[in-house]
């Protein structure tokens, strides 16, 4: 029974580890060109959805998942909503009085101001999973209030650039997605 539990735990941890890096870079036409970064303030949540001090909520700005957190003093912060190492939504976390937000599953604490790791995976299961990964912070974004919304400054081309290396359309009879001839 112990061997089964150990094997299951090992399989779960290895499922979340990154795959080995390869030096192969595809030169096919399916790889789109990277677009330069373009920072813009985008509406994220209406002011009516702004959480109370000590709470957090989620929103979307420019196609990116954003965690809007309000500290005990009423200051508003915007962070990436995917919490390493297992991409738990950070907006489910607890905003602490010490200027951090805590991942509810693994207990990792991130600084609201910088997104840096303050405490990496201190819980029981967190020590096991967190030990397989290097501590990684979350992105932080400038935030402002305008026109009844909370707006977050994001790279509006980030989603496009992330998806640029993926297949992006319907293939024609010649195996191209551009509609042109060879």
Residue ranges of the domains in the chain? 48-160
- Please report the beta strands in 27-170, taking only residues with DSSP state E, as ranges in sequence order: 39-46, 55-61, 64-70, 76-80, 82-83, 88-89, 94-95, 100-102, 109-111, 117-119, 140-141, 143-146, 149-155
Does 132 or 55 have the greater pLDDT score? 55
Handedness of CA 42, 45, 48, 51 (dihedral sign): negative
User: What is residue 48's predicted lDDT score, i.e. its pLDDT?
Assistant: 93
pLDDT tier at 3, thresholds 50, 70, 90: low
pLDDT tier at 42, thresholds 50, 70, 90: very high
C-alpha 168/C-alpha 182 separation (Å) is 19
pTM above 0.75, yes or no: no
**Which of 23-27, 29-33, 161-165 shows the lowest mean pLDDT across its residues?**
23-27
135-174 pLDDT per residue, tens: 889 999 999 999 999 999 999 888 777 777 665 566 666 6
Q: What is the DSSP letter of 115?
A: -
- Contact criterion met (CB below 8 Å) for 111 and 88: no
CATH code matching the domain that covers 48-160, chosen among 3.80.10.10, 2.102.10.10, 3.90.190.10, 3.10.180.10: 2.102.10.10
Distance of CA 165 to the CA centre of its chain: 18
pLDDT tier at 7, thresholds 50, 70, 90: low
* Mean confidence (pLDDT) of the chain: 80
- Contact criterion met (CB below 8 Å) for 133 and 85: yes
- Contact criterion met (CB below 8 Å) for 56 and 76: no
User: What is residue 167's predicted lDDT score, i.e. its pLDDT?
Assistant: 56
Cα-flanking dihedrals φ and ψ of residue 100, to 5°?
A: -125, 165
Placement of tokens 């977050």 in the chain: 152
45-72 pLDDT per residue, tens: 999 999 999 999 999 998 889 999 999 9
List alpha helices for the chain, DSSP H. 2-16, 124-130, 158-163
Angle at 179 between CA 155 and CA 159, to 5 degrees: 15
């Amino acid at each position: 029974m112990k061997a089964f539990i150990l094997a299951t735990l090992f399989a779960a941890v290895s499922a979340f580890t990154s795959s080995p890096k390869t030096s192969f870079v595809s030169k096919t036409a399916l790889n789109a060109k990277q677009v330069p970064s373009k920072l813009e303030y985008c509406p994220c949540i209406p002011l009516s959805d702004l959480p109370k001090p000590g709470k957090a909520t989620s929103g979307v700005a420019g196609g990116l998942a954003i965690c809007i957190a309000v500290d005990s003093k009423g200051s508003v912060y915007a962070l990436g909503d995917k919490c390493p190492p297992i991409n738990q939504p950070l907006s489910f976390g607890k905003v602490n009085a010490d200027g951090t937000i805590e991942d509810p599953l693994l207990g990792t604490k991130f600084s609201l101001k910088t997104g840096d790791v303050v405490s990496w995976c201190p819980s029981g299961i967190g020590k096991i999973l967190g030990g397989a990964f290097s501590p990684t912070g979350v992105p932080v974004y400038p935030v402002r209030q305008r026109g009844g919304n909370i707006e977050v400054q994001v790279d509006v081309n980030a989603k496009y650039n992330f998806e640029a290396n993926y297949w992006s359309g319907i293939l024609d009879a010649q195996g191209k997605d551009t509609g042109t001839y060879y």
